[in-house]
A = this chain, B = another copy of it.
Amino acid sequence: MASYTSMDLLKYLIFDVHQVESLFAHERYAHLDAEQTWMILESAKLLADQEMFPFFKEMDTTPATYDGKGGVRTHPQIKKIIQIAAAQNWIGGAAKFEHGGMQLPEMVFNTAHHIFQSANNSTQGYLGLSTGSADLITSFGSQEQINTYTPHIYEGRWQGTMALTEPQAGSSLSDIVTSAKPTTEGYYLVKGQKIFISGGQHDGVENFVHLTLARIEGAPAGVKGISLFIIPKFTPEADSSLRYNDVYCAGDFQKMGQRGYSTTHLSFGDNDDCRGFLVGEPHKGLSYMFQMMNGARISVGQCAASVAMAAYQSSLQYCLERPQGRPAAEKDPSKPPVLIIHHADIQRMLFTQKAITEASLSLVMECNKLYDLVHVSLGEEKDKHLMLLEILTPIVKTYASEQGSRSAALAIQTLGGYGFTTDFPVQQLYRDLKIMSLYEGTTGIQSLDLLGRKVTMQNGKSVKLLFSAISNTILESEAYENLKPYSTSLSAELKRTGEVLQHISLYATKGEIDRYLSDATVFMEMISYIVIAWQWLKMANKAVEKINANDFKANSKIFYEGKIHTMEFFFKYELPHAEACAKTLLDEHELTNIKAFELFN
């Protein structure tokens, strides 16, 4: 079977680099050990091998399609996957025992989901959205809501979704107009249109639980007047029967990629009979939703890394099998062709892919571990983990999706013309990947979040925590002679990043907020290079440690050498672009925020 991820890499990341075992000291995860963790991940791999990966192409050629009467037809395997995955606890596995879960760390649970995403990214979303929905209800819903919805969701019979976007508002959530009218019956009557609802009303489950943002009549304008509602497609009645709740699927968007995944247009209350059940307090919906949204952003970053990983694996396999051409210095055409992996430019493309995808996954795991630490810590310590997680969230989402697309493009390039044909999966992965920079807030939105919110919150505490985490890794590297040039280089990058931040912060200080934020995306690109260099240095530290200790039980020596080599590659080929971004950010000539749009003609 073709490979779509590397279990050796996952072992290295989860045990060595990010040390999942340190979590097992906490009561919440005390029931786990390393061996069990690995068995769990191996069972996830088996599921992906058997039920997901074989259907990857079929789900593209027979995409989710509107049935013309309120539903979406998906590939029949979707239903089977949801049922098997639910039975194996891949929807509720991270939930607490008391909620029917296995109390798995996010690190473990989401690594399994990475395996699913790399095997078949059209299928994992159905599971992930259900997980996030049930989590949200558990965090902010009433006990009755938890009891009513989460067991069905965890059983894979009901699908959770997040219903935020409206046609006229797009990313601007302050402009949503879906209305909720209070009744005396304990529910609200909801009316409105939601688009791009992933996992929306398809034929793989019995019912849907739409976590929907709406405005209670008379609510304040803007984001401070948004409330969160549970809106099932069929409302469970007291006698356990299901009553149609006037949630109509008006269509399914046909997309360039991820075509197995239903993306619906939902219409709530066409017949004025759509009941919404308020979650938590009125007008606090957006802050609740952000729990799910933040998880979803990391998950999108993870999905991007996973799809790029699948493309890398496919590309690597091709390069190891395809003979073509000769080394540049070899002029004798009678010599037999070599495998293309011998060519320097092919190696450059492979290392670039490896550098992007492995570090993206490492950063995802960094985030997942912080999530776990938030769960098991308290007070200032908890706040620290949370603040670091907050600043890393938009970065992992953006780097993995933007550079993941570039990585998948390189996968196509290594196959030459074949890469563009539907005979090979790399083009599908390239198409699938493009949505990742749009889901859950585009790159532009993530960058505004980073610079406008995350960098500034609590007087820059998040940035300081990030710099301090990077500095710790640099400090560790300094113990290893062969890593010194790289720790020195990363120190310099960190210093320059500080200077850039100081420079652009002056705009904010002067009250020029639009200007402060105008190159947020360039800032995002710059800091991403540095964060990824950090992950590479962290991986290299551990590799040197293993090599120095002659410890090759888990992975071979050359596996660790590959980590050091790829770290060096990233520092030589990718990191210099951080300085280019800095140059742009330090240039005071203002070229955007123009009003004369004829300049675009």
A residues sitting closer than 8 Å to B (CB atoms) are: 6, 8, 165, 168-172, 174-175, 195-196, 221-223, 253-257, 263, 316, 320, 322-329, 332-334, 337, 341, 343-351, 354, 405, 409, 412-413, 416-417, 419-423, 427-428, 430-431, 434-435, 437-439, 442-444, 447-448, 452, 513-514, 516-522, 556, 558-559, 561-562, 565-566, 568-569, 572-573, 576-577, 579-581, 583-584, 587, 589, 591-594, 596-601
Contact = CB atoms under 8 A, between A and B. Distances in A.
Nearest to A427: B256
Contacts of A573: 522, 584, 591
Contact of A348 (B253, B326, B518): B518
Contact of A333 (B223, B323, B409): B223
Nearest to A254: B422
Contact of A572 (B169, B514, B587, B598): B587
A334 B222 CA distance: 7
A597 B350 CA distance: 11
A594 B565 CA distance: 10
Q: Which of A195, A559, A572: most chain B Cβ within 10 A? A: A572
A275 to B, nearest CB: 27
9 contacts: A222-B334, A328-B513, A329-B514, A344-B593, A345-B520, A348-B518, A348-B519, A522-B573, A561-B599
Contacts of A598: 556, 558-559, 562
Given A256-B427, A345-B592, 20 more contacts: A169-B324, A170-B324, A172-B325, A172-B337, A175-B324, A196-B417, A221-B334, A222-B332, A223-B333, A348-B518, A351-B600, A413-B437, A420-B435, A556-B598, A561-B599, A562-B599, A562-B600, A562-B601, A565-B591, A576-B583
A592 B328 contact: no
In the assembly, how many copies of this chain are there?
2
Contacts of A522: 348, 573
Contact of A170 (B253, B417, B568, B596): B417
A583 B582 CA distance: 15
